[in-house]
Amino acid sequence: MDQHQSVTEALNDAPLGLFHFRAAVTAGMGFFTDAYDLFIIGAAIVLIKQQWAPNKYMVGLLGSTALLAAFVGAIIFGRLADTLGRKKIYGLEAALMAFGALASAFSPNMLWLLAARFVMGVGIGGDYPVSAVLMSEYANIRDRGKLVALVFSMQALGLIAGPIVALTLLASGVEAQVAWRLMLGLGAVPAAAVIWMRQKMPESPRYTSRIEGKSQRAAENLQQFGGQVVASKVREEVAERLTLLAFLTNPRYLVTLLGTAGTWFLFDYAYYGNSISMPILLKLVAPHASILSAMAWSLIIFSVAAVPGYVLAFLTIDRIGHRRLQIIGFAIMGAAFAGLGMVPGITHEVVPFLLIFGVSYFFAEFGPNTTTFVLSSELYPISMRTTGHGISAGVAKFGAFIGVFVFPILASRLGLQGTLLVTATFSGMGLLLTMLLPEPSQRSLEEVSGDDRSAARLGQIVNN
């Protein structure tokens, strides 16, 4: 960095380096934990039903409570990260996840388990805006989509870890009432690792420089964390600090919120309803299959369809375009669900069903599951970036809560094919709402969010 550059300019122009990957792994471990904790409940519910025999409404609540709590956590922590700083709360949400996982394992009854899952869900929700925005603010222009998508792609490892743990415990002969407690409690292990890793990560350099007004400290932190060479003196930066009222009444940001929160809500309804309920869904397709068979099929779908989708997404997102990839994903995902909903008898044929369902999963990951996370971290000004992302993620998790809660109810009333047609409709609506958003690929955060224009206005005021 030369002395005529600002910290923001240095970050935008920096070559892909070690400090980018350190930030990605630190943030991504949180998403491994998030995914494990959210999706392991699908396998655990099958065993909990054997022990406590909850009704279908309690089953829906058990699968969806953490998602409702994530709605709360994303909005609260998103706002706090803009007002107090990203670093100050970066370990707190992981501590809530660890506590909730351990409390779940020792649940004496359903109400205790629901409360523990709620606490954990608040932490999961809080992790979304802080991890996404920290990575986007560390990233350069050229590789920003790749880096933020890489963070989110750690979810893939959490997705496959859950069925592996479940299969290992059950195949080892562990009793059902012990196995589900171990499944849920093991989520505390990666959460503890996340707490340790995040203590070593400094505040976002952009936030330190542009919001706290400490450009030199930002440069020093960047050098200490990643070894990036910085000058002895850097150019100071100016950023407008919006109030929450000004943000929520600004027409431009309201349209952006409609686009990011709306598309994410529609996607999460479709995705989480099918994913968390997958063991139940597969039992509807093959009623005589064993629990082990249903969990093995889940693992196959996650491994063969979901994981390659995540990988291809972060490898190609910056070349294809963040908005364009979301449109492609919604279109093919919706078409797959529509096919499953309309072709007579397909939900009773295991192999054809799994193949088409796998296609929907691939294009969910190679599309809106990744891009909704990325776009929400790019399109808001720095003083409202985690607030905007938090609102979007929170609204999305409310959609996920609805999807998981109503899936068993819809399946019992509309049948599996009718339920999948509803999912296809939501996918089509998500495609249409994506059109409201700009394409941020290969543009700086400051340009796409309007921070550059705000800084220019403030500079004119100071000069005058």
Per-residue pLDDT reduced to its tens digit, 406-443: 877 787 788 878 888 999 999 999 999 999 999 999 99
pLDDT greater than 60 at residue 115: yes
Residue 456 is predicted with a pLDDT of 54
Q: Is 2 part of a structural domain of the chain?
A: no
d(CA 59, CA 103): 19
Closest CA to 230 of 455, 13, 457: 13
Residue 45 contacts by C-beta under 8 Å, 6 or more apart in sequence?
59, 62, 63, 279, 280
Closest CA to 222 of 233, 206, 238: 206
Instruction: Report in angstroms the alpha-carbon separations of 442 from 13, 141, 421, 438, 447.
Output: 11, 6, 36, 12, 10
Share of the chain above pLDDT 70, in %: 92
Residue 464 is predicted with a pLDDT of 46
Q: Is 247 part of a structural domain of the chain?
A: yes
pLDDT greater than 60 at residue 211: yes
d(CA 397, CA 306): 20
CATH number at residue 269: 1.20.1250.20
How far from each other are the two terminal CA atoms of the chain, in whole angstroms?
30
Q: Is 1 part of a structural domain of the chain?
A: no
Q: Is 295 part of a structural domain of the chain?
A: yes
**Number of CB atoms found within 10 A of residue 18's CB:** 11
Which single residue is written with the structure tokens 């629990």? 291
For the chain, give the mean pLDDT: 88
Diameter of the chain measured on Cα atoms: 78
pLDDT greater than 90 at residue 245: yes
**Number of CB atoms found within 10 A of residue 435's CB:** 10
What does the angle CA 303 – CA 317 – CA 152 come to, to the nearest 5 degrees?
50
Q: Is 34 part of a structural domain of the chain?
A: yes
d(CA 89, CA 85): 8
Instruction: Report in angstroms the alpha-carbon separations of 281 from 75, 157, 292, 429.
Output: 31, 22, 14, 23
d(CA 331, CA 432): 10
**Bigger pLDDT: 58 or 313?**
313
Closest CA to 268 of 36, 41, 440, 64: 64
Instruction: Report in angstroms the alpha-carbon separations of 40 from 19, 43, 123, 350, 461.
Output: 32, 6, 16, 23, 54
Share of the chain above pLDDT 90, in %: 54
Q: What is the pLDDT of residues 10-25, one digit of tens each?
A: 899 988 888 898 889 9
- Structural domain containing residue 317: 7-463
Can you read off the two tokens belonging to residue 388? Answer: 């905007």
Q: What is the pLDDT of residues 308-341, one digit of tens each?
A: 999 999 999 999 999 999 999 999 999 999 998 8
- pLDDT band at 183, cuts 50/70/90? very high
Using an 8 Å Cβ cutoff, are 83 and 384 in contact?
Answer: no
Q: Is 363 part of a structural domain of the chain?
A: yes
Q: What are phi and psi of 6, to 5 degrees?
A: -90, 170
3-state SS track over the chain: CCCCCEHHHHHHHCCCCHHHHHHHHHHHHHHHHHHHHHHHHHHHHHHHHHHHCCCHHHHHHHHHHHHHHHHHHHHHHHHHHHHCCCHHHCCHHHHHHHHHHHHHHCCCCHHHHHHHHHHHHHHHHHHHHHHHHHHHHHCCCCCHHHHHHHHHHHHHHHHHHHHHHHHHHHHCCCCHHHHHHHHHHCCHHHHHHHHHHHCCCCCCHHHHHHHCCCHHHHHHHHHHHHCCCCCCCCECCCCCCCCHHHHHCCHHHHHHHHHHHHHHHHHHHHHHHHHHCHHHHHHHHCCCCCHHHHHHHHHHHHHHHHHHHHHHHHHHHHHHCHHHHHHHHHHHHHHHHHHHHHCCCHHHCHHHHHHHHHHHHHHHHCCHHHHHHHHHCCCCCHHHHHHHHHHHHHHHHHHHHHHHHHHHHHHHHHHHHHHHHHHHHHHHHHHHHHCCCCCCCCCCHHHHHCHHHHHHHHHHHHHC
Query: What's the total number of domains in the chain?
Result: 1
Residue 234 is predicted with a pLDDT of 73
Radius of gyration from C-alpha coordinates of the chain: 22
Can you read off the two tokens belonging to residue 58? Answer: 């309690």
Can you read off the two tokens belonging to residue 10? Answer: 């240095």
Q: What is the pLDDT of residues 250-305, one digit of tens each?
A: 999 999 999 999 999 999 998 877 766 666 666 667 677 676 777 777 778 778 88
Residue 76 is predicted with a pLDDT of 96
pLDDT greater than 50 at residue 215: yes
